[in-house]
């Protein structure tokens, strides 16, 4: 069995509660959405790799004193869930804590690997950020599928984000459990910098705090400092 792998690299985690952690990243190609206006993934460039090849590359990058965390990311890694079922146990045998980064729209595919990962990093996509597509029901079912796991949610906002959509997203998260941490991420537009004003970001933050206990404004550090 082979998967489309966009990249395997070692870097500093730039998002969420594990920001700053030395991490091995396995980035899968392909996405079931593919219309996010702030997406930073090249979907055209990838290698066909089997589990043995991925592990060999991961071992080369990690070395004897390698990172104790591995992130499977994308694109959308759950599109290749069959491959993950073979890969994740092998990474676990290398004493790695496993983080799944996902757009949170494929709950049925999560069910097959749910117990193989330690942490789920889930996006909530505002319709205005993905070409008008509403994914509320997919996100709702995905959050339900994460019950009992360590999970946190990332939500990217910029100056064009619609407050009504944002309130729907935060209400959905609050219904799933107000204790799920939210990382509110101002979009970073390459060399143009942060794509939202402080006033707009503060407004979104106050809305979020009315529904969710833990809200952190979290810049995508890897973009700011220029690492992968």
**Structural domains of the chain, count:** 1
Residue located via tokens 């979290």: 218
> Longest C-alpha distance within the chain, in Å?
50
pLDDT in tens, 65-96: 778 899 999 999 999 999 999 999 999 999 89
Full domain range(s) for residue 181: 2-225
Q: What is the CATH number of the domain that holds 113?
A: 3.20.20.70
pLDDT in tens, 31-59: 998 778 777 777 678 999 999 999 999 99
Read off the pTM.
Answer: 0.90
Question: From CA 182, how far away is CA 104, in angstroms rounded?
Answer: 14
- Could you give phi then psi for residue 21, rounded to 5 degrees? -85, 135
Question: From CA 216, how far away is CA 209, in angstroms rounded?
Answer: 10
């Amino acid at each position: 069995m082979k998967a489309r792998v966009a990249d395997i690299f070692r870097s500093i985690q730039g998002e969420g509660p594990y920001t700053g952690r030395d991490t091995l990243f396995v980035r899968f190609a392909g996405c079931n959405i593919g219309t996010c206006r702030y997406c930073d993934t090249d979907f055209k460039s990838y290698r066909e790799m089997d589990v043995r090849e991925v592990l060999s590359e991961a071992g080369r990058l990690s070395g004897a004193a390698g990172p104790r965390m591995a992130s499977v990311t994308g694109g959308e890694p759950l599109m290749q869930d069959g491959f993950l079922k073979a890969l994740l146990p092998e990474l676990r045998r290398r004493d790695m804590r496993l983080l799944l980064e996902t757009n949170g729209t494929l709950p049925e595919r999560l069910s097959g690997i749910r117990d193989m990962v330690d942490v789920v990093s889930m996006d909530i996509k505002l319709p205005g950020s993905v070409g008008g597509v509403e994914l509320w029901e997919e996100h709702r079912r995905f959050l339900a599928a994460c019950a009992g796991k360590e999970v946190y949610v990332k939500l990217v906002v910029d100056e064009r984000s619609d407050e009504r959509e944002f309130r729907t997203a935060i209400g959905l998260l609050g219904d799933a459990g107000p204790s799920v941490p939210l990382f509110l991420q101002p979009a970073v537009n390459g060399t143009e910098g942060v794509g939202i004003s402080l006033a707009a970001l503060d407004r979104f933050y106050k809305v979020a705090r009315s529904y969710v206990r833990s809200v952190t404004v979290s810049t995508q550090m890897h973009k700011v400092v220029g690492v992968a």
